[in-house]
Structure 1
């Protein structure tokens, strides 16, 4: 219940919970716009990526709001003005499955397009990258926090969260949601939003009803444990992840990716022609996890980080500014299995086979 207290008379008036329809509040015109402008209405800190997202190939579906949490998880938000109907949860699950294939760069592109049109303001990849960098928690961003294009380089969670927000929830929604949370560890939140008419003002009160607050800490710990067991993508640096998954081993040799060889060389490059058998283009994994220098360049037998080695190689080849950011892991492939760069390999559960490459 919400009460209004008059400052002069100190009279206490109970405000009655109203139906959104009775207050002439519409789902898309009003509620959705309020959430975009202030996502705290949903009870948590979110960065709104886009709205009315329809980037699903061959489908006409549009999700209400797509957002991001500070720990790098996508959030699919489904809004219902009054009662959440029987298909609300299924609809959101469908959207979440579609969005699970999006990459960190995909959502930054969507953010850029959406907010450029909404605010009528030009946004560069660099400005978007800075926005994401400022929003995300430490530990989510990669070793090099920006790509060459300026996007934020971070680990996007592979399991989108779901937030259902409505004026009312019946058992036709709450029962399956609780079952999905308890039996399958799905991250689904139901937030009840009440509207109150206070003279010329409309007051909103949001309350998370699922998971109940008393059980939320337990459910959070359970999800975190399952995620750690299922994947270690947030457990450390890229090199540590690749070594822990045995995608790389001490002594493995890696080769600079030919597609990243500069078109123009500096005046006196040490090597002008690409030859993957030449030591200039090769390096060896040291297997060291506890330090930044973990790859030996066969050209000078010194140890570097992948970022430092990539910068040094490009500096010698083309005079590239070593202070410019880059993601060093995308410049190298495993000699024995060059189908993926090391950056792409980090998202694999096992080394790709010949059949994987052919498919």
Structure 2
């Protein structure tokens, strides 16, 4: 049972179907374009009904990018996922595997410019958006065109539907465990009050809890392998070499990035929310967590803090989450600031 709480007023929400309340699949697609966090994670929507494949008219519902630089192929079903939903998405993922980073940004620019929701985007605008979304660990831009980053050639698959039967969940689990395919299933549920107000909730149903440890280890391995490839110099290296930050400097978790559903009160003086820069520039030793004295990368520590306070898994880039106490700026903001612009 789901309840809507408004002060002392508690109203039960009755689960219904999207069909029953006259919601079309196109409506759900538009909701996701406008608010992709509905799918339970941070995504940058690149296009919908993507139609640039050779020799086929098939189109994935939504094409997006996650913070690790992986394409995400989103396949939507308004009600129960049918028997071919997973196969459709696998085909779309194979079609998308050859898209380059520049092509993806060109497609993003075309899609959003054609919608006319805002001023026309230039390549520089798009490059800045992608670089900001992906963070300094993944992307770089000189400000004169599209961002540079290594686009993973193994797209993720995200299936979103009103419900999933064993004809979908069984092959998905098998593909994950035996072949390492990154497939997520998210149930979208419609609820209605007695006053006919409609609410939508989302719930990840796969990977199932029993597979979480396995999937977490596999994703961490992929992150490490991806980061060992050629990419922009890490923000911490640039900041240390420029003398902007030093060994021993304190960083505090950015209060604005604390999730609404955290079960721990934010306190900038609490060691749980604080770290000390180590002065090291490896992949896992940039910052010492004052809570336990262990060393992490800024990304891994951000993920650890977020996961411990919410019980949910996060896939984020770390630099925007840590604020330097001396400058009162995040490490991402510091990275973008020229040395001469800082008030010493």
For the superposition of Structure 1 and Structure 2, which TM-score range results when normalised by the shorter chain?
Answer: 0.5 to 0.7
Deviations 1:261-307 (A, max 9, x none): xxxxxxxxxxxxxxxxxxxxxxxxxxxxx9xxxxxxxxxxxxxxxxx
Please say if residues 68 and 134 of structure 2, whose CA atoms lie closer than 8 Å, have aligned partners that are also in contact: yes
Q: Distance in 1 between matches of 2:232 and 2:125?
A: 28
Please say if residues 44 and 133 of structure 2, whose CA atoms lie closer than 8 Å, have aligned partners that are also in contact: yes
Give the structure with higher Rg (CA).
1
Report the Cα offset of residue 121 of structure 1: 2.7
1:208 maps to 204
Give TM-score scaled by structure 2 length: 0.63
> SS where residue 68 of structure 2 aligns?
coil
2:32 maps to 35
Instruction: Say yes or no: does 1:167 pair with 2:165.
Output: no
Q: How does 1:192-231 map to 2 (within 5 A)?
A: 192-198=187-193, 199-213=195-209, 215-225=211-221
Q: Distance in 1 between matches of 2:62 and 2:176?
A: 21
Report the Cα offset of residue 93 of structure 1: 0.3
Q: Distance in 1 between matches of 2:198 and 2:231?
A: 49
Instruction: Say yes or no: does 1:177 pair with 2:172.
Output: yes
Identify if the C-alpha distance between structure 1 residues 5 and 96 changes in structure 2 by more than 3 Å, giving closer, same or farther: same
2:74 maps to 77
Report the Cα offset of residue 237 of structure 1: 3.5
Please say if residues 17 and 196 of structure 1, whose CA atoms lie closer than 8 Å, have aligned partners that are also in contact: yes
Please say if residues 108 and 151 of structure 1, whose CA atoms lie closer than 8 Å, have aligned partners that are also in contact: yes
Match of 1:151 among 132, 141, 146: 146
Instruction: Say yes or no: does 1:114 pair with 2:114.
Output: no
Identify if the C-alpha distance between structure 1 residues 4 and 224 changes in structure 2 by more than 3 Å, giving closer, same or farther: closer
Q: Distance in 1 between matches of 2:18 and 2:90?
A: 25
After TM superposition, the structure 1 stretch with the greater mean CA deviation from structure 2, 196-205 or 96-105, is: 196-205
Q: How does 1:202-351 map to 2 (within 5 A)?
A: 202-213=198-209, 215-225=211-221, 232-237=225-230
Deviations 1:180-228 (A, max 9, x none): 0011010000000100112242111100000024532431212443676
The alignment yields a C-alpha RMSD, in angstroms, of: 2.2
Instruction: Say yes or no: does 1:3 pair with 2:10.
Output: no
* Alignment size in residue pairs: 232
2:85 maps to 88
- The structure, 1 or 2, with the larger RCO (C-alpha pairs under 8 Å, 6+ apart) is 2
Structure 2: state its 5+ residue gaps: 234-281, 283-344
Report the Cα offset of residue 5 of structure 1: 4.2
Instruction: Say yes or no: does 1:19 pair with 2:23.
Output: no
Give TM-score scaled by structure 1 length: 0.61
Identify if the C-alpha distance between structure 1 residues 48 and 238 changes in structure 2 by more than 3 Å, giving closer, same or farther: closer
